[in-house]
Amino acid sequence: MTITPDMQAQLTAPFWRAAAQGRLELPCCPSSGKLVWYPQQSCPDCGEDLLWRELSGRGTVAAFTVVRRPLFPEYADWLPFIPALIALEEDPSVRLVSQLVDCQAEDVACDLPVQVTFRKLKAGSGELYQAPLFLLQKS
């Protein structure tokens, strides 16, 4: 992959540190317990400082598409690529943009359950980093 997330940015560094250790963590309000994604300095409702909380990694497919042609030659090995919007079990209104892996495009549908998995990806610089991707849950 040539796209590199900014793993050192103040607001997202805790997300990437947790991912490097195989954990899915998002910021939440310590008063209400409400998850806040995309990270902010403070709770948008009460202004309190946010704390990072480990999540189950379970959710459902809220939306997806199947990419069959690469935008750039570097993506050819990834095809078909299945980017997806994942509604998290802890709060389905909070959704992560990720990728479905180890599945066939024809097996994917909205509302199917998923579980996080962590994979090493190659940054544009050639550096490896670990990212949360999702697997379809077996019924």
| pLDDT > 70 in the chain, percent | 94
Task: Report strand pairing: 51-54 vs 113-122.
Answer: unpaired
Residue 18 lies in a domain: yes
Task: Count structural domains, the chain.
Answer: 1
Position 121 scores a pLDDT of 86
Q: How confident is the model at residue 1 (pLDDT cuts 50, 70, 90)?
A: very low
59-77 pLDDT, tens digit each: 999 999 999 988 878 777 8
Whether the model clears a pTM of 0.85, i.e. scores above it, the answer is yes
Q: Both tokens of residue 6?
A: 């900014």
Q: Which of 2-6, 22-26, 36-40, 124-128 is the most confident on average?
A: 22-26
Assigned domain for 4 exists = no
Residue 4's pLDDT is 67
Q: Residue 8 domain-assigned?
A: no
Peptide bond into 14 cis (omega under 30): no
Arithmetic mean of pLDDT over the chain: 91
CB-based contacts of 121-125 (< 8 A; 24+ apart in sequence): 121/1, 122/1, 123/1, 123/4, 123/5, 124/1, 124/2, 124/3, 124/4, 125/4
Q: Which residues form the domain of 79?
A: 13-136
Q: Is residue 34 part of a domain?
A: yes
